[in-house]
Amino acid sequence: MTPELARVLARLAEELPARHIEAWARVLHGYRAPGDDLEVRLIEAGPGVAVGARAARLARAWRESSPRPAGDALALALETGAVMHARHAGRQTDVVVSGPLGDRPAVRHTGAVVTDDHQGQRIGPARRELRRLRRERGRP
C-alpha cells in the first residue's frame, strides 16, 4: 500500500459517516483489484454530498498503488481508520477562551488551578501577579 492510498483511506475514515463506511467496506470486499465499476458501486452503496469525488479519489489512489492490495485489505483499513477516528474524537477537548468584559482586569481565585507547571515558568509569575492585584485592591 502506498502512502497516498493510506492517506486517502484515513481521510475517508474521518469524513464519511459510519453507515457509508460499512457500505463501502461491503463493496470493497467484493474486489481483488479496482474494477471499472468501482466508483459507481461505491456511490450507489452510500449516496450523498461529495461522495462521487471521494469514490473517485479512492479508486484513483488504489489504481496507482503498487503493490496493489486486495479490496479486503482496503475494507479493513477503512473500518479500522473509522474506529480510531471515533475513539480520538471522543477524547478531544475544546479549548474555550474567555476574557474580561469590561476595562478592569478579570481576576478570580480558583482553588482547582494547578499549583506549579514544569519549572514554574507560567504558574509562578501568574501567582505573583494575582497576589499583586489582590494587594492593590485591598484583598488578602
Contacts of 124 (CB under 8 A, 6+ apart): 116
- How confident is the model over 82-105, as pLDDT tens digits? 999 888 777 766 665 555 566 666
| pLDDT at site 135 | 81
| pLDDT at site 62 | 96
In this predicted structure, the answer to whether residue 139 has a pLDDT above a threshold of 70 is: no
AA identity, residue 116 = D
Distance CA 33, CA 66 (A): 11
Domain boundaries, the chain: 3-91, 108-140
Count CA atoms within 13 Å of residue 80 on its CB side.
8
In this predicted structure, the answer to whether residue 115 has a pLDDT above a threshold of 60 is: no
Indicate the pLDDT class of residue 132, thresholds 50, 70 and 90: confident
DSSP 106-122: -----TTS-S--SSSSS
Distance CA 68, CA 72 (A): 12
The DSSP 8-state label assigned to residue 95 in this structure reads -
| pLDDT at site 116 | 44
pTM of the model: 0.62
Indicate the pLDDT class of residue 79, thresholds 50, 70 and 90: very high
